[in-house]
Structure 1
């Protein structure tokens, strides 16, 4: 096997191992992108070695920090892990998302389903592939990820995008009762001090609520908030206008 092959190291030898990787390993990695396997089960390892003989399999004794360190030393790399090694990463001191954000990661799953895709996405993996997929698919996945794209079914990414848009829309509409009051008054061209006086709160509190509701409704300034209020609370303003225009009832003495 060209490259580092099966890299071993345990106990006190781990630190010297990383030093030796730097001295002897990098010079032998001549590809633009290095493929690395870490913490793989025997089954996953067989699949990877068969499909990607150029992959460098790291010993299971190496912890997440050492794997990340190795990938950093060799430059652009794609790290292949399986569900067992991903679960182990989540149990270590270094959070899996932080670990996986350092390199591009492909997750091998025993069976790919919605749960496994979701787990891979939340962990920051660039792709997920079933362990029994043809060798050609594994090579295609590595090539796609190496080009900066994701390797997930289109339906999974579409569903993720729809949920993201929907949740953002719902979040924007979930104003508190106080934020709704302030936004309606902004739509009536009320200044901060006038709003504070009407609601019996401080002007600083009004400003704090404004910053929060700007973020929720997706506007950047008071003018945009005013336009948003007019668009969404038109019925409220019409009712207020009708109430003000109606003649006052005579007061009985």
Structure 2
């Protein structure tokens, strides 16, 4: 089992305590440091050389894109995963341009956070649905579907993916095979003209195919 070494950067002690407790429940995560400011983060990360840094955007200087850029310059092997409450253009775009591997909001479910940390550790980009939608809007304006709309089953699959379910979990919930889920996803990608899961969820929200209610588990 590969263990990911993590540093938590946030100027709120309660947030750091909560993240440390949550992340500490996973056997493949090891918290090797924490910091309450950008200056402290640079020192801690240089010493600990973690695999992933979970960093808030707005803290005592340096913060935001400046901190991300400095972390990447000083410890290039470290991936920076932004964990914040802000998802505006002025926050997201500079962070991504500065080298953040991912951008997640603090209201994300814990399982989504765990998956994001592991994806960052594999050097895979991970974005919350709202952030992915924002980036898509910057690349191209919203446009109507040019092909057939999603079937009822495709909508069910996409809604489960939006809740952070894996293919296996979606298959179990819908009582279908994992390969069938993969086939539905391929059809969804083609209809929405997107390359992957995050883009499909973002495009579906952007076009009104999914709503905020679709992202919540029913009781």
Q: Give the TM-score of the pair, scaled to structure 1.
A: 0.42
For normalisation by structure 2, the TM-score amounts to: 0.47
